[in-house]
Amino acid sequence: MARKRKELPIIENVEITGIAAEGKSLAKIKLKETDETPIVVFIPYGAPGDVVDVKIDKKKHSYAEAHIIRVNKPSPIRIHPRCEYFGVCGGCKWQHIPYEEQLRFKRQQVEDALVRIGKIEIPEVPMTLGSANIWNYRNKMEYTFSNKRWKSWEEIRGEVERSEENNALGFHIPGSFDKVLQINECYLQDNIGNRIRNYIYQYALERNYSFYDIKENRGLLRTLMIRPTLSGELMVCLTFGEEDREKMESLMSDIIQSFPEITTLVYVINLKLNDSIGDQEIHIFLGPGYIEEKMGDLKFRISAKSFYQTNSRQAEKLYETAAQFAGLKGNEGKDDKPLVYDLYTGAGTIANYVARNASKVIGIEYVEDAIKDAKINSEINSIKNTEFYAGDMKDVLKSDFITKHGKPDIMIVDPPRAGMHEDVIKVILETSPATIVYVSCNPATQARDLTLLAEKYKVTRIQPIDMFPHTHHVENVVKLEKIRELN
């Protein structure tokens, strides 16, 4: 007979004192009167200064996790969230915190990571560079069709009006992989995204199109991607889980007639178990199959598979900061321009952005399709001093590669959230460029990597940049200079 699980307690009048990792708030609580010292409790959707009652969900030796069941006294900084789905869909977890405070918390997050995790000496961390637009800033949104609509407890218990419709087009609910939240309005992208998504949803319901069943791996409608650009172009990408040509073409023909703003419509037939389209063929139904975004006097071609920073306006601030830290500004007329390596180059955005101020830029990226995009982006901008190579970074960036292509003066690295492989860091240390600019979307793994680089390098400049308002995510740009050259 299984042992009955011990019920965890409700703790009343807890004061939230700070913000922790992953955007959660924190408090220090004695779970029992007999406890000698309080433990740290992580609480989502809290604001520093709140006084709340919390239910403990998980208890570990040195910390606990809880959720708010009542706000007894709201924090002076707490504001009313704009979105009706706040606290349910899992995104925009800081809508209840004023934007100025979000920027301050992100700065603190960077400083804490570099000091506590990295344990390295750093200069003063400046305030986070904020986003000009804190709503409607995303240039890419991805939605999921599902035949299992998420229902709230209030709906299930009959406390609110219950819909008999089980199909949904929206976002996956955190912790419920097979449930999707039906949404009517999301404020992260221009309203054209809401209009297209809601139109497709109603069209599918009225014509009994089947929505995807993730457990059974069946259903015609699977995912929807919408990508607008600042220059006015608009891509829609539909993924189908089955092949029914008549229904597919009927839907796509109707979409392009109803939304003349769409400049290209592409689709994928994905019959495999996961939603990734990276290994799938992209079929063009309308337009060239890509959109183009402008950044300064450059333009970048974006396909359905392309990576491009999802906040276009902030992306220019990010690349401008990286170029300044690298000293790649105003070198156009110089004869002795530096050789630059751009590691994890993606679609070559940074590489092409800094190329005019470099003698040559060597870009390396794991994803072959991204390298194809990088080469196209050089070509359409008439940039002739870039070279791009595809492959796993630790396999490509080796001593013989450096010997063949030259020792870089500057390295720009922009790795994924997991950071850099130790073998890559070893090669960087052996190569010893005078300057490294480290662009990171995860200050924790950045701090770990900076600790390893501290053998030869010192952090001389830091700049956090907010790419995703109302979330805890923050980009951080760090300049490292070789210690010997600083003396």
Catalytic residue ranges: 441
* Under 8 Å between Cβ of 312 and 231: no
* Position 98, amino acid: P
Closest CA to 155 of 181, 177, 185: 181
* Residue 18: burial class (beta carbons within 10 Å; 0-12, 13-18, 19+): middle
CA quadruple 41, 44, 50, 56: dihedral positive or negative?
negative
Alpha helices in 276-389 (DSSP H): 312-326, 349-354, 368-380
Strands 18-19 and 25-29: antiparallel
**Helical axes 191-206 vs 245-258, angle rounded to 10°:** 140
Closest CA to 346 of 261, 281, 287, 416: 416
SS3 (DSSP) at 454: coil
CA–CA distance, 70 with 112 (Å, rounded to integer): 30
CA–CA distance, 32 with 40 (Å, rounded to integer): 14
